Amino acid sequence: MAFPRSSSVSFFTFLLFAVLINTAISSRVSSFIKLPGSIDESVSSSLTSYCESWRLAVETNNAGSWRVVPSQCVSSLETYYDKGQFDKDYSVVAGYAHAYAKTIKLKGDGKDAWVFDIDETLLSNLKYYKAHGYGSEPYNSIAFNEWVVQGTAPGFAASLKLFNRLKKLGFTIILLTGRDEVQRSVTEQNLLDAGYSGWEYLLLRGHEDQGKAAAQYKSEQRSRMVKKGYRLHGNTGDQWSDLQGFAVADRSFKVPNPMYYIP
């Protein structure tokens, strides 16, 4: 079918205009939205992004049981600690814990309690783990215990601040650690040197606790405190096994630790 010349010109002008508009819109949209070609591509496109996602999975317990930090993520963890993001993350958690603690009406009978873990919660073993690949090496109990008995682990600024704030509010402080009873003296002195004082209990593994999973051991210890009449309003720890099980606190606060996992 033939078209008049004027109609033909108008049609092609419209067609050219439509193509140009479509190209401009597509270009503008692509500058805002770029979808990955596949899930695998989005995960592997950036090592940094992968390691940050791995750390999130670890902290939220979605990674489940794991043994060592992936070797390709060692540099990412070094940056996480050395550039201050770890300290910021810890401070945020401590801030939420303090805000919650202030909402509790204490009975004034000395039975309103808060539980703290010690390693990677009150005391930092970062110096040890730096020398052992930030957790990328399998755990060596002999080497770690040699570090513990030196008694030089520093405290965390955020945890010391929270610790003192809770005491000021009137909470009884219970320290519950996976360290052995034979390490009581060095642990007490290390805590004092790091600025902590005034706790009511320091609970360590006795002979009868050897071989127990952390969650079982800590649940049993908390249960003993509850039977003594203590009301466990809060619990702060770096491992999920510090916080879960039975006789759990009313609120639990998981502080960051992507260097190791204790079931």
Dist CA 235 CA 212 (whole Å)? 20
pLDDT at position 51, please? 96
Neighbouring C-alpha atoms within 13 Å toward the C-beta of 215: 10
pLDDT of residue 50: 95
Task: State the Cα–Cα distance between residues 156 and 119, nearest whole angstrom.
Answer: 10
Number of H helices, E strands in the chain: 11, 5
The answer to whether the beta carbons of residues 140 and 132 sit under 8 Å apart is yes
pLDDT for position 41: 52
pLDDT score for 219: 98
Under a CB-based contact definition with an 8 Å cutoff, are residues 176 and 222 in contact? yes
pLDDT of residue 6: 43
Residue that is written with structure tokens 């996992």 in the block: 261
CA 77 – CA 79 distance, rounded (Å): 5
Three-point CA angle 26, 31, 34, nearest 5°: 90
Kindly report the pTM of this predicted structure: 0.83
Q: For the chain (length 263 residues), average pLDDT per consecutive 10?
A: 42 41 40 38 72 97 97 96 98 98 98 98 98 97 98 98 98 98 98 98 97 98 98 98 98 98 97
Per DSSP bridges, beta strands 112-116 and 231-237 are: parallel
Distance CA 211, CA 146 (A): 20
Closest CA to 122 of 178, 55, 205, 66: 178
